[in-house]
Each structure stands twice: as C-alpha cells, then as structure tokens.
C-alpha cells in the first residue's frame, strides 16, 4: 500500500498496529470464533475490555483516587449538556471561556439549566488567540473551557488557575501531554482524536462533586447512572471502546504521555519553524497560543494555491484543507502521526519555496 | 474456524460477509489506503456511506415521503428521552404500554416532561403476555410501545390501532418483518440486533410531527438539529453506521424484509414446535404473543440443568442463557442467524429428551 500522510483533523490517524488488531477482532475476537461486535457486552471478554480501557486511562493520566472514568455515547456535544445538568443548579451561573466553535456550543447548552457568564472570549479576532488576564468570579459554580481548539488552531499552554471547580472539554488534546487531573472536577473528550475512533466519549469525573445540584436529571444524562453501572447502563459502543483500549495500550507501550508529549513538541516545532522561516507561508494564530495538535497556516500569495495544492497531493498528503471558517490550511498532528509525515509536508513547503519563492 | 451457533440476545450475530467487509475497511477503506475510522466524516467517501445507509432504510421499509431517517448516538435509552422532548409538550400526557424493562424505562423518561399514562401493562405476570383490549385515550399526545421484548420474549403480532400518533421502540425486531411506517409518527431502534453493531440508533420520524411541543429542547436531543445536518451535527459513530449499511445491503441482497420475514417465521416455528413437542421443555410466555426474535423457555425438570447445559455447549451453541429476571433459556434468532443453527439447537433438545426423557 502507498503510504498516505494523514493530517485529518478528526476522525484522524490511528496507529497501524491498532488498526490491524481491530480489523482482526472484527472477524475473530480473543479466539472465540466470534466477532467482537456480535458478542454480549456483558460477556467476560467484553467486560475485560471495558476494565482495561478504564485502567489504562487511570494509569496514563495518573488519575487520583476519587475520580471515575466513563466511556459514554453522544460526543462532547452531549457532554456540553451533561456538564450543565450535573454541575449547574437550575438558575445559577457558571463561567465559560469562549475560544471558538466548540466552546460556543458548550455555552449554549449551559443556558438550558442556568446562566453562562462568558468571562473571556477571543471572538473579536476570529478566535486566533487564547484570552488571558481575566478575572474568575468566585460565585460561579464552575469554570468551563476548551483546552485545544481544533478549528482555529489554538491551545491553552497553561490552564486557568481557579478557586472554583474547573471543567474542561479536552476532546482534541487529551493524552497528548501531561495534565494534572486533580485540578479538575471533570474532563471530557470525544475519542476521535488521540484516543480512538468516533463513537465514544471519555469522562473523568470527581465523584464527590456529583449529586449536588438538586437538578432532576434525565437518566441518561446523569453521570451517576453510568458510574453505578460501570458505563454499561445500556449497551455501550463496543467497537469504539475496544479500539480506544488498543490505542491506549499502544501509547503505554511507547512510554506513556510524557514520551508522546516530547514527540508532539518535536513535530510541532518542525512544522511551525518552517511556517515562520518560509516566506510563502504565514501562521494564523498568535505564536504563544499555537496548538501542537492543529497547525493553521495560509499562503502569503493566494494566487499560488493551485500550485501548492498540487504539490502536497502529489506527496500523498491528505487532510490539510483548512476549516471553512478559517480558510487556508490545517495540519493536524495527533499522537499517531509520525514525525516522518511532518517532514514530508515540510519538504513540500521547501520545494514550493524553491519553485515559486 | 469452528462454527459457533450464536444465539446472543444483542449485540448479536451479524452476517459473515458483513464482518469480512467491515474488517477490511478497518485497514483499507475504498482503496484509499486509509482506514474507515481515520478519515473525516465529511469526506466524500463517508458522506456516501451515510447516504447509502439512509437510502437502504427507506427502500427496505418503504418509508413514505415526509419521513426523515437519522443515525444518532445514545441507544434507545436516550431515545426514550428524545421521544418525550420532541413529542410531549411540558405538562401534558402521553399513553404508554408497559411490556417490560425497556418499556418501563421509556415511561420513566416521559415523566421528565409531562405525565405518562400507562394504559396497559403485563407486569402482573412478569410481562409474559402482550396486553390487549385496552382503550386509548384520545387526548393523550401519543401512544408509545415496545414492539418486541427481548427479555421476556414477547412480541406485538398486531400493532395498536390508534387515532393518536404511534411511537414505537423497535430496537429488537426492526427489519425482521414488514411494517407500515406510515402508521407511526416515529420509530426508533438501537442498531445492535438486526441492523448492525452497538453504537448507533436509527430514527425514522415524520417531519411534519416535529416542532409542535413548544418545549425548549436541548440541541442534541432535538431531532430537528440532526435532520438539518443529515445526522452530522457532530461527528457520527462512523464504524457503526458503516457496518449497518453493509448489513442492510446484505438484507437487500437476500430479497429484502418480506423474504427475511418468512425465514424468521420458519426458524421460530422450528424452535417453538420443539419446545411444545418435547416434554422436557416449556415456553415462558403466552403462545400467541411469542417473539420470533427471542424464544424464552425453561426445563420442566430443573435438576437436569447441568446435563442440558453440557449438551448445548458441546454443540458449540453460544448465548442461550436466559436473562436473570426470567431465568431458564433464551434463544435469540435474529436475521443473521441461519436456520441451520436453530436445527442444531433443536437436535440437541431431541438428544436431551432421548437421554433423559
């Protein structure tokens, strides 16, 4: 097979060995002569998958005692609503930082229960920076933010320091760098970047923070429902959880989050250095807030677009078209993307400069 | 590989050719040299999967004009809540038929918005029959029922005739027999029986019936959100939808729902005839309400349990242990289960009779 350099923003590249194992499990899982997807989720074999996946999350992120790990459905988009139901008493106020599309959607769902106080926003500059220097109101029930903004290409390099509970949508950079889970009341993340395929959403939640809103929470939106049933209140998304488990095993095998963090930094440095060095390209966002996951950049001369597009396509590069709200290009460099692929892109950028610079 | 006769109640048996194609797509999808699960859901290749899946549902079930087909997340369990939000104005009443565990859970979620009037129930006999001869109040907003009850092993052979809109959870018998979609305002079904793997839920909804409650519906629970975005408001469960598409293609190739209905009837007759003929076995539910999907039965002499268990296990039969709330045995005979497997079970039952009868 021709190697494709997959810079897709998500669903995104997964490790080859994970794909191979997942493919095998779809025809014969654990030598049962049955597919992973045609056995009961309550079978010993699948319960073990769920437990392994949970334990790998705990191990890789050093999850402290008192936190629960859940694999649910609905994406972070349903997480926005679950956040409100589980943490925001009806009519009360929560603080939100607006750093783009996903943060805005989270804000909208908070209004279902109470009031979302947007204490900081980078909307004035099309979300091309991470707000700083804002005050955090002590009477808000929590502060919610989006750690990495896939569309704009910004990332919190330092998390807010807050006296009120922190809740974070980490969909696009969880497992890419070390974090201190103990700083958060809840972290949630759609799987389809660094954890696995689309179809499951991870929740890491401080159990003692739940059950305090007095809200009448619908069963499926109540995190306590799922904690009581070990993420099996209803049939879980078996395949997505299994592939997540494989991906986390792969990450553990590499040496864990501290190792991948270094590799991700090297990949990001390689690409951003070229963007800054090469006169034909320009980064989209403030340098200090650049995402190590999603690098957004544009051509300095738009009339060369067809020429550049032809060159990266010829190099078997895939998925670097920018999001329609930003334009230009977006190279996503998630955990499973090898440095070699970034080098191929950088080489194309250099050749492009030689030819048209 | 030794052939396993997979009677699992769900997630359940899927056609071998579907599993093979799904396995291939996990390493190389559409000859893209990329996995199905590592490409953008907005790529041409995946958008085509979504469209095919939708069109297959419409074709196989003769879905009339004016209905929308959606593939969402959350299982039927989240469907219980979506039903209430989308069809039950706050404070108003809907009618429910209680035929078991799943129906009861649907009833509970209706109470989030208004009142669930349980107009008929078989709870008095551990749900071993389908209620009949009840009145349907004309002022209820809709009548909700569960067409097949996986746990008890009962099935509506005739759907209620009603002047108020019908809403049905068809999770465990959709695509197993012909239905008239036009009789319903909404049908919904978790995929993991006759449609595909766990991880997506089908909704077939009459579009003109939506948007009439005046409810303030959270974004992700609002079916209109998903209709506007062709089931891609957020990242869909790509793999589950793809495998559902393959399974529906397989069904179409077989000749469609009318053909599988006949095959399912033959399988059910084969097993139920043996249950009735063989003095060592007894069916659990009323004969006229027996499910063609899930046959529940018990031994007439419990002391022979170990002997029977040993015999079916030796025949490579899997998944016939009854649900804990019913006991005994449950043989699920979903679309993909070959008649040959039912014959193997029947043969074991005959041998068991010869030996211990």
Taking only the tens place, the pLDDT of each residue in B291-343 is 999 999 999 999 999 999 999 999 999 999 999 899 999 999 999 999 999 99
Q: Is pLDDT at B123 greater than 80 in this prediction?
A: yes
Of B19, B35, B220, the CB nearest to A19: B35
User: What residue of A is the nearest CA neighbor of B85?
Assistant: A218
pLDDT tens-digit readout, B136-149: 999 999 999 999 99
Nearest-CA distance A254 → chain B (Å): 20
DSSP B263-328: HHHHHHHHHHHHHHH-TTEEESS-GGGB-SSEEEEEESSGGGHHHHHHHHHHTTEES-BPPTTT-S
User: What residue of A is the nearest CA neighbor of B241?
Assistant: A199
Q: What is the mean pLDDT of residues A277-302?
A: 98
Residue B54 burial (10 A CB sphere; 0-12, 13-18, 19+): buried
Interface pTM, i.e. ipTM: 0.97
Q: What percent of chain A has pLDDT over 70?
A: 100
User: What residue of A is the nearest CA neighbor of B113?
Assistant: A218
Q: What is the mean pLDDT of residues A69-74?
A: 98
Asked if B33's CB is within 8 angstroms of A2's CB, the reply is yes
Active site residues of A: 102, 169, 193
Check residue B187 and give its pLDDT. Answer: 98
Q: Is pLDDT at A27 greater than 90 in this prediction?
A: yes
Asked if B28's CB is within 8 angstroms of A37's CB, the reply is no
pLDDT tens-digit readout, A139-151: 999 999 999 999 9
Q: Is pLDDT at A2 greater than 80 in this prediction?
A: no
| 3-state DSSP percent of chain A in helix, strand and coil, to 5 | 40, 15, 40
Query: What does the alpha-carbon distance between residue A232 and residue A234 come to, in Å, rounded to a whole number?
Result: 5
For residue A163, count other CB atoms closer than 10 A to its CB. Answer: 8
Nearest-CA distance A143 → chain B (Å): 21
Contact yes or no for A23/B36 (Cβ under 8 A): no
Contact yes or no for A293/A176 (Cβ under 8 A): yes
Active site residues of B: 102, 169, 193
Check residue B1 and give its pLDDT. Answer: 60
Nearest-CA distance B5 → chain A (Å): 9
pLDDT band for position B2 (cuts 50, 70, 90): confident
Cβ contacts below 8 Å, chain A against chain B, sum to 193
Contact yes or no for B85/A81 (Cβ under 8 A): no
Query: What does the alpha-carbon distance between residue B229 and residue B69 come to, in Å, rounded to a whole number?
Result: 12
Q: Is pLDDT at B352 greater than 90 in this prediction?
A: yes
User: What residue of A is the nearest CA neighbor of B337?
Assistant: A38
User: What residue of B is the nearest CA neighbor of A76?
Assistant: B234
Query: What does the alpha-carbon distance between residue B199 and residue A47 come to, in Å, rounded to a whole number?
Result: 16
Sort out which chain A residues have CB atoms less than 8 A from B237's CB and list them. Answer: 73, 198-199, 237, 240
Sort out which chain B residues have CB atoms less than 8 A from A90's CB and list them. Answer: none
Integer distance in angstroms from the first to the last C-alpha of chain B? 33
Sort out which chain A residues have CB atoms less than 8 A from B6's CB and list them. Answer: 34, 38-39
Nearest-CA distance A61 → chain B (Å): 24
Nearest Cα residue to A78 out of B127, B145, B15, B74: B74
* Cβ neighbours of residue A161 closer than 8 Å, sequence gap 6 or more: none
Across the beta sheet with B281-283, the strand order is B281-283, B294-299, B329-332
Between the CA of residue A295 and those of A194, A321, A340, A341, what are the distances in Å?
16, 11, 16, 14
Of A26, A197, A219, the CB nearest to B22: A26
pLDDT tens-digit readout, A208-261: 999 999 999 999 999 999 999 999 999 999 999 999 999 999 999 999 999 999
Sort out which chain A residues have CB atoms less than 8 A from B4's CB and list them. Answer: 32-34
Q: What is the mean pLDDT of residues A35-59?
A: 97
Q: Is pLDDT at B210 greater than 70 in this prediction?
A: yes
Of B3, B19, B78, the CB nearest to A27: B19
Nearest-CA distance B34 → chain A (Å): 7
Nearest-CA distance A288 → chain B (Å): 28
In this structure, which CATH number among 3.40.640.10, 3.40.50.920, 3.40.50.300, 2.30.110.10 belongs to the domain B16-254?
Answer: 3.40.640.10
Q: Is pLDDT at A48 greater than 90 in this prediction?
A: yes
Q: What is the mean pLDDT of residues B106-131?
A: 97
Between the CA of residue A335 and those of A9, A10, A177, B285, what are the distances in Å?
12, 12, 10, 53
Asked if A35's CB is within 8 angstroms of B199's CB, the reply is no
Q: Is pLDDT at A1 greater than 80 in this prediction?
A: no
Asked if B237's CB is within 8 angstroms of A237's CB, the reply is yes
Asked if B197's CB is within 8 angstroms of A235's CB, the reply is no
For residue B290, the 8-state DSSP code is B
User: What residue of B is the nearest CA neighbor of A112?
Assistant: B218
Q: What is the mean pLDDT of residues A57-79?
A: 98
Check residue A3 and give its pLDDT. Answer: 86
Q: Please give the mean pLDDT across all residues of chain A.
A: 97
Among B42, B189, B235, B337, the residue to mutate for chain A (most A Cβ within 10 A): B235
Asked if B41's CB is within 8 angstroms of A11's CB, the reply is yes
Q: Which two tokens stand for residue A194?
A: 């660094």
Query: What does the alpha-carbon distance between residue B194 and residue B14 come to, in Å, rounded to a whole number?
Result: 8
For residue B285, count other CB atoms closer than 10 A to its CB. Answer: 25
Q: Please give the mean pLDDT across all residues of chain B.
A: 97
What kind of fold does domain A29-254 have according to CATH?
Answer: 3.40.640
Query: Cα A237–A243–A244 angle (5° rounding)?
Result: 85
In CATH, what class is B256-356?
A: alpha beta
Nearest Cα residue to A70 out of A171, A188, A218, A170: A188
Nearest Cα residue to A151 out of A176, A122, A177: A122
Cross-strand pairs, A342: none
Of B27, B32, B77, the CB nearest to A234: B77
Sort out which chain A residues have CB atoms less than 8 A from B322's CB and list them. Answer: none
Asked if A112's CB is within 8 angstroms of B235's CB, the reply is no
Query: Where are the domains positioned within chain A?
Result: 29-254, 256-356
């Amino acid at each position: 097979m021709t190697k494709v350099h997959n810079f897709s923003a998500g669903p995104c590249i997964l490790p080859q060995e994970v794909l191979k194992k997942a493919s095998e499990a779809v025809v014969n899982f654990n030598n049962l002569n049955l597919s992973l997807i045609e056995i009961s989720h309550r079978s010993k074999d699948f319960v073990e998958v769920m437990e392994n996946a949970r334990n790998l999350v705990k191990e890789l992120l050093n999850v402290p005692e008192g936190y629960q790990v859940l694999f649910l459905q609905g994406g972070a988009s349903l997480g926005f609503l679950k956040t409100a139901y589980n943490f925001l008493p009806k009519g009360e106020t929560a603080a939100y930082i607006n750093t783009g599309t996903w943060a805005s959607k989270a804000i909208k769902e908070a209004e279902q229960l109470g009031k979302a106080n947007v204490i900081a926003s980078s909307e004035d500059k099309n979300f091309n920076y991470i707000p700083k220097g804002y005050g955090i109101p002590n009477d808000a029930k929590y502060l919610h933010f989006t750690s990495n903004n896939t569309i704009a290409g910004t990332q919190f390099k330092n998390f807010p320091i807050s006296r009120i509970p922190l809740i974070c949508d980490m969909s696009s950079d969880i497992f890419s760098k070390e974090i201190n889970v103990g700083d958060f009341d809840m972290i949630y993340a759609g799987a389809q970047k660094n954890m696995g395929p689309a179809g499951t959403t991870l929740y890491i939640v401080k159990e003692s923070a739940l059950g305090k809103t007095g809200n009448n929470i619908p069963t499926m939106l109540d995190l306590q429902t799922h904690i009581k049933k070990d993420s099996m209140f209803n049939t879980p998304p078996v395949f997505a959880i299994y592939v997540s488990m494989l991906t986390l095993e792969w990450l553990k095998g590499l040496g864990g989050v501290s190792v991948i963090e270094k590799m991700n930094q090297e990949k990001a440095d390689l690409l951003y250095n070229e963007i800054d060095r090469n006169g034909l390209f320009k980064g989209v966002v403030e340098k200090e807030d650049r995402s190590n996951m999603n690098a957004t950049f544009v051509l300095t001369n738009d009339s060369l677009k067809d020429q550049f597009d032809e060159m990266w396509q010829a190099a078997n590069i895939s998925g670097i078209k920018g999001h329609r709200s930003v334009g230009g290009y977006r190279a996503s460099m998630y955990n499973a993307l090898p440095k070699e692929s970034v080098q191929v892109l950088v080489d194309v950028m250099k050749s492009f400069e030689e030819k048209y610079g």
